[in-house]
Amino acid sequence: MATDVNKLYADLRKKMAVAHTEEELAVLDKAFNTAQEYHGDQLRRSGEPYIIHPIAVADILVDLGMDCPSLAAALLHDVVEDTPYTLEQLQADFGETVATIVDGVTKLGKVQISSRETKEEQQAENVRKMLLAMSKDIRVIIVKLADRLHNMRTLEFVDPQKQRDKALETLEIFAPISHRLGIRSVKEELEDRAIRFLDPVAYVSIEENLKNSSRSGNDFIESTKSKILERVQKTVPSAQISGRIKSVHGIYRKMYMQGKQFDEIYDIYAVRIIVDTVIDCYNCLGIIHDMYRPLPGRFKDYISTPKPNMYQSLHTTVIGKEGVPFEVQIRTWEMHRTAEFGIAAHWKYKLGMSGGKNKFDERLQWIRQMLEAQQEAGDAREIVSSIKTDLIPDEVFVYTPKGDVINIPQGSTVIDFAYAIHSAVGNKMMGAKVDGRIVPLDYVVKTGEICEILTSSQPGKGPSRDWLNIAKSSQARSKIRSWFKRERREENIIEGRAEIEREFKRNYIRLTEEDEEKFIKKLAERQRLDSIDDFYAAIGFGGISVNRLMPYIKDEYHKNYDRSREEQRQKQVKTAPRKTNSDGVTVEGIDNCLIKFSRCCNPLPGDPIIGFITRGHGVSIHKQDCTNVPKDIKNCAEPARWINAYWNKNVKEEYKATVTLTCLSRIGLMADVSMQVANMRVNITDINTRDTKDGRCILSITVKVGGIEHLKNLIAKIEKVDGVLSVER
Residue positions annotated with a catalytic role: 81-82
Burial of residue 657, with CB atoms counted within 10 A of its CB: 0-12 exposed, 13-18 middle, 19 or more buried: buried
In terms of Cα–Cα distance, which of 63, 60, 94, 62 is closest to 79? 94
Q: What is the DSSP letter of 451?
A: E
Q: At what angle do helices 22-39 and 2-17 cross, to 10 degrees?
A: 160
C-alpha 439, offset from chain centre: 29
Q: Are 243 and 221 in contact (CB under 8 A)?
A: yes
In sequence order, what are the residues at sequence separation of 6 or more whose Cβ sits closer than 8 angstroms to the Cβ of residue 26? Answer: none
Q: What is the DSSP letter of 570?
A: H
**Sign for the pseudo-dihedral over CA of 68, 74, 79, 80:** positive
Q: Report the C-alpha gap between 197 and 156 in whole angstroms.
A: 9
Q: Report the C-alpha gap between 471 and 468 in whole angstroms.
A: 6
Q: CA 257, 261, 262, 268: dihedral to nearest 10 degrees? A: -60
93-99: long-range contacts, CB 8 A cutoff, minimum separation 24: 93/30, 93/34, 94/27, 94/30, 94/31, 95/69, 97/69, 97/137, 98/31, 98/69, 98/72, 98/73
What are the angstrom distances between the C-alpha of 447 and each of 109, 368, 450, 722? Answer: 39, 26, 9, 18
What are the angstrom distances between the C-alpha of 661 and each of 542, 665, 670? Answer: 20, 11, 11
Cα radius of gyration (the chain): 30
- Exposure string of 608-640, with b = 16+ CB inside 10 Å and e = fewer, is ebbbbbeeeebbbbbbbbbeebeeebeeeeeee
Q: Report the C-alpha gap between 372 and 478 in whole angstroms.
A: 8
DSSP 391-441: HSS-EEEEE-TTS-EEEEETT-BHHHHHHHH-HHHHHTEEEEEETTEEE-T
Q: Report the C-alpha gap between 103 and 397 in whole angstroms.
A: 39
Beta bridge partners of 272: 242, 329
What are the angstrom distances between the C-alpha of 83 and each of 27, 301, 318, 540? Answer: 20, 51, 56, 48
162 torsion bin: left (phi>0), alpha (psi -120 to 50), beta (else): alpha
Q: Report the C-alpha gap between 417 and 426 in whole angstroms.
A: 8
Burial of residue 691, with CB atoms counted within 10 A of its CB: 0-12 exposed, 13-18 middle, 19 or more buried: exposed
Q: Report the C-alpha gap between 481 and 471 in whole angstroms.
A: 11
